[in-house]
Amino acid sequence: MDWIYGIVQFVKSRLHEMPEDQEQIEGDALYKIVQRCFDEPLSVEKDLKTIEIKVSPILVDNLTNIQRRQCLSLVDKNLGDTMNRVYGKDWKLDKVEEMRDPGLVYLLLHHDTEFVGFVSIKAVEDNEFHVLYIYELQIVKNYRRMGLGSKLLGILDQIVGLVNSDPVYTTRFGKLEGLSLTVFSSNEGAKKLYFSKGYEIASHSPAVRHLRNRKIQPDYFILVKKSF
Ligand SMILES: CC(C)(COP(=O)(O)OP(=O)(O)OC[C@H]1O[C@@H](n2cnc3c(N)ncnc32)[C@H](O)[C@@H]1OP(=O)(O)O)[C@@H](O)C(=O)NCCC(=O)NCCS
């Protein structure tokens, strides 16, 4: 299992190239910009009715234990089997730690009082690029395929635009050069969504290996979408 540990450490090292207090300060600045984007709820069609999804931005430090548990249990429900296969049965310990990364901004999604998903994002140095990293995009099963994921990705594009046109942010931290994320190679639905929104496999991503008569998929791909 050493190689699994190696992958986890490799991914984590890429997401931890800034000193912690710097990450926190940039997270605060990002949070202030994100707050401007969600005055209005998102409207989507469910069962032929328009429903409103409230998006609440919240800094990682202000997440309650209940909210943290809701997020972790949704990751488990949605991708737990794949996490187990790829990272081993102790994946949750690493996930809990990752979900506390300083500078993370969460977007919690509710339909009325029902928790229907979350996004977590953070500005990081990834392979020497300053990017908005999408740590998680998780939607409860009953609320999928109604355009919520697409709308959220559109808003993340807007956030990058807002960050890059904010001189206070860019003078201090530099511009964001794009967005980045990790997707399991077996996650066909998510890959289809990301590719349709302009994401590409990063040059530093693990790649498909072509053997004489078959292809070997890596466990995951790193995707990027460069700034416009
Ligand atoms: C991946 C995920 C975030 C997509 O969110 P969503 O709100 O369902 O996405 P959208 O409704 O905006 O889908 C837009 C398009 O993406 C593609 N797509 C999304 N999910 C798909 C799926 N399961 N199978 C095939 N295509 C899919 C389709 O082309 C879809 O358009 P269509 O519904 O008109 O055919 C959601 O399925 C999810 O939370 N999955 C579990 C967690 C996960 O895998 N997260 C991604 C981790 S990287």
Interacting residues of 86 by C-beta distance below 8 A, sequence separation 6+: 4, 7, 184, 219, 220
At the topology level, CATH places domain 2-180 in Aminopeptidase (3.40.630)
Q: Is 189 in the pocket of ligand 1 (CB under 6 A)?
A: yes
Q: How far is the CA of 42 from the centre of ligand 1 (A)?
A: 16
Domain ranges of the chain: 2-180
Atom of ligand 1 nearest to the CA of 184: 48
Q: How far is the CA of 46 from the centre of ligand 1 (A)?
A: 15
| Ordered per-residue pLDDT tens for the chain, 228 residues | 556 655 655 665 555 556 779 999 999 999 999 999 998 999 999 999 999 999 999 999 999 999 999 999 999 999 999 999 999 999 999 999 999 999 999 999 999 999 999 999 999 999 989 999 999 999 999 999 999 999 999 999 999 999 999 999 999 999 999 999 999 999 999 999 999 999 999 999 999 999 988 999 999 999 999 985
Q: Among candidates 187, 193, 216, which has minimal Cα distance to 78? A: 187
Q: What is the pLDDT of residues 1-23, one digit of tens each?
A: 556 655 655 665 555 556 779 99
How much is the pLDDT for 13? 56
Q: Is 68 in the pocket of ligand 1 (CB under 6 A)?
A: no
Q: How far is the CA of 190 from the centre of ligand 1 (A)?
A: 5
User: Which residues on neighbouring strands pair with residue 119, listed in sequence order?
Assistant: 107, 137
Cα of 211 vs its chain's centroid, Å:
32
